Amino acid sequence: MDGRQSVRAVGPVVIDIENITKDYVMGEEIVRALRGVTLQIRRNEYLAVMGPSGSGKSTLMNMLGCLDTPTSGRYDFNGRNVKDMDDDELAAIRNREIGFVFQTFNLLPRANALRNVELPLIYAGIDPETREERATQALNDVGLGDRIHHKPNELSGGQRQRVAIARALVNSPSIILADEPTGNLDSKTGEEIMALLEHLYQRGNTIILVTHERDIAAHARRTIHLRDGLIEMDHAGFIPELDLETAATT
Amino acid sequence: MKRFLYELEESWKIAAAQMRSNMTRSTLTALGVIIGIIAVTLMGTAVNGIGIGFDKSMSVLGDDVLYVTQWPWKPVDDWWNYRDRKKIETEYAEKINHIIGATPNSNLIVAVPTSSLMRSIRYRGNAVDNVFTLGTTSDFTVTSTIDCKEGRFFNEIESQTGAQVVVIGYDVADALFPSESPIDKFVLINGQLFKVVGVNARQGTFLGLFSWDSMVAIPLAAFNKYFSSKNAADITANPNGAKVQSDVRVKVKDKKELTEAKDELTGIMRRVRGLPPDQKDDFSINEQQAFKSTLDPIKNTIAFAGLFITGLSLFVGAIGIMNITFVSVKERTKEIGTRKALGARRRTILLQFLIESTSLCLLGGFIGLIVAYFMCFGIGKAFPSFPIQFSFGLVVASMIVSVLTGLISGFAPAWTASRLDPVTALRYE
């Protein structure tokens, strides 16, 4: 293993999940999307969540992102119990603690890059001057300092995702949650985005990457494999050559 | 609080951007509100105007004048009790004045007799039929506010001698003397020559209610001489078969003591009629207020019905706003999801869509108000007699109505949006 693949010394626990389950009612049937997942994520980790569709990957991401609450189990975010929070408290957690990066960028089409990045700051109640200053800084950090007044349709796909990353960063969240961040990009641009995430990780950010692509997951320092609502494998680094079944038995 | 202001500002920006980018849609939707506001505003001005018209007509009666009449000024069910009452005679005025003069601290000032009849008036080739012809005394000016545009009201000497002089209303003057001054001209009333001594200033008519514009006044002595039989108290069959209507009007000293004055006048009238104490009054004493309380329900009914019907058009506009806001919520479900992921609370989303629907309504209301203003202006020019009144209160009211329309019609969609589950919303395509 080279240095890049090693698990670095990490900080305190940010996400502490114990035996969480999530059931959905689909008509008559109850779908058990998560069947008891236990997971700890520490500050300054770079984690990839992998798994085939239907494995509970999206459900787990929604839980981690505080977009949804588990049916049972324990979920502490920075020591605060998230499970019993109401919608507005969850909104506050999402606003301050989590930076979302979506596959489809999810920028507001009629707002320029600066206003898009300012949005989480508005919801946090930051005054206009500080807002502009911090949003500009975040855009500089992703290399878009010269594009702050461009609207999304005046930017390339890679640039749009950079705006989205700047938006995720701007409130200095505890984690950055990237859901298939390169899914809508060509592989070259995708690599640029991955390089940017690597850079952010090196600067001390905590990154959770949800993906089904092995070479994207390969950028992470720790990988979780989900299958049928359970963690099948949780290991440091990425072992691309190993067959999953073989890895599970070793 | 600060955060709320920032969210508010952001919502305004979004609403403006939304309207700009969906120009056609916004315009069409706002059109519903525009039409609604025009309808309601015009109705409001009309209702205002009706009220003013009523008051104006009523002011002819004077609020400090009591009217002694055979019939009361209010609808009666037992009309047969009134039908056989004795007529009011013009001579009563003299008797009443005599008693007033003999009473210290009387609440009454003077009694003025009036007799009236519909007559035709002609001057050279011009003629006006069915003119309300009033016979009265020179004291009439005490009981009624009459402004003469030209000339004067007839004086006491003319009044007592029954001089053949006439004061004509504005419309009568206009019809008979389209291009010259009527003063000192002789007009023919019922074949008798009368000299015009005065022309009343224009008063304006409304809904066919009483107005000075279409009447003429002559001394009572002359009236009795030519238009009625010797005894005016009889059901006077004059040459044309029309009936003379006689009343006595009494000016009150202080209109705050109208009730006392009324009681005093009742006593005087009972003396004049020589009624024994056990007999009921066989006359009615009326004041403007009685007339008003009969008219007010009519006015209110018109106002209510009119505003209700025009309100329906605003309601249709509101449905349009509600519909478009629902569409907007549906279209932007993913955006709502994104905003929620970034930390927008329910209140923020609710506020955003409420502001969108409200600003659309407010814009529509504003345009509607401007259009209504010009329409009022046009109607006022085209039909000067129609009392239309555009007031500042109306502007404020219609703006408030616009905002309320926006809030009410936007609430259901905005509420739906605020309750959206962020996971579902984010996944929505």
Q: Is residue A4 part of a domain?
A: no
Range of the domain at A221: 42-69+86-249
Q: Is residue A145 part of a domain?
A: yes
Q: Considering CB atoms only, which of B10, B334, B346 is closest to A88?
A: B346
Tokens of B31: 């059109």
Q: What is the pLDDT of residue B350?
A: 95
Helix/strand/coil for A37: strand
Q: What is the pLDDT of residue B205?
A: 60
The pLDDT tens digits for B129-166 are: 888 898 999 888 888 777 788 888 899 899 889 889 99
* B242 vs B56, more confident: B56
A120 band by pLDDT with thresholds 50, 70 and 90:
very high
Rounded to the nearest integer, the mean pLDDT of chain B is 86
Give the C-alpha separation, A31 to A24, whole Å: 5
Q: What is the pLDDT of residue B238?
A: 45
Q: In chain A, what residues touch B345 (CB-CB under 8 Å)?
A: 87-88, 91-92, 123
In this complex, do B6 and A122 lie within 8 Å of one another by their Cβ atoms?
A: yes
* B120 vs B416, more confident: B416
Q: What is the pLDDT of residue B391?
A: 80
**Strand pairing partners for B192?**
B189
A220 band by pLDDT with thresholds 50, 70 and 90:
very high
Radius of gyration of chain A (CA): 18
Q: What is the pLDDT of residue A246?
A: 44
Q: What is the pLDDT of residue B321?
A: 94
Q: What is the pLDDT of residue A154?
A: 95
Cβ(A42)–Cβ(A10) below 8 Å: yes
For residues B33-62, average pLDDT: 83
* A3 vs B60, more confident: B60
Cβ-proximal residues to B409 (8 Å cutoff; 6+ apart), any chain: B318, B319, B321, B322, B325, B357, B361
Rounded to the nearest integer, the mean pLDDT of chain A is 88
Tokens of A11: 């900080």
Q: What is the pLDDT of residue B352?
A: 93
pLDDT over 70 (residue A231): yes
Q: What is the pLDDT of residue B229?
A: 53
Q: Is A79 left (phi over 0), alpha (psi -120 to 50) or beta?
A: left
Q: What is the CATH number of the domain that holds A201?
A: 3.40.50.300
Range from A136-140, B43-47, B397-401 that averages highest in pLDDT? A136-140
Q: Is residue A243 part of a domain?
A: yes
pLDDT over 90 (residue B91): no
- Residues of A contacting chain B (CB within 8 angstroms): 62, 65, 67-68, 87-88, 91-92, 94-96, 100, 102, 106, 108, 110-111, 115, 119-120, 122-128, 167, 171
Q: What is the count of structural domains for chain A?
A: 1
* A96 vs B392, more confident: A96
A9 band by pLDDT with thresholds 50, 70 and 90:
low
In this complex, do A119 and B423 lie within 8 Å of one another by their Cβ atoms?
A: no
In this complex, do A100 and B341 lie within 8 Å of one another by their Cβ atoms?
A: yes
Q: Is residue A76 part of a domain?
A: no
B405 band by pLDDT with thresholds 50, 70 and 90:
very high
pLDDT over 70 (residue A240): no
Q: Is residue A31 part of a domain?
A: no
A5, A75, A81, A87: which is closest to A40 by C-alpha? Answer: A75
Q: Is residue A174 part of a domain?
A: yes
Q: Considering CB atoms only, which of B13, B21, B345 is closest to A88?
A: B345
Q: Is residue A184 part of a domain?
A: yes
A35 band by pLDDT with thresholds 50, 70 and 90:
very high
Cβ(B187)–Cβ(B196) below 8 Å: yes
The pLDDT tens digits for B289-337 are: 777 777 788 888 988 999 899 999 999 999 999 999 999 999 999 999 9
For residues B275-298, average pLDDT: 83
Number of neighbouring beta carbons within 10 Å of residue A43: 16
The pLDDT tens digits for B169-226 are: 888 998 899 888 899 999 998 888 999 999 988 876 655 556 778 889 999 988 888 8
Give the C-alpha separation, B360 to B147, whole Å: 50
pLDDT over 80 (residue A187): yes
| Spans of all domains in chain B | 2-57+295-427, 65-286
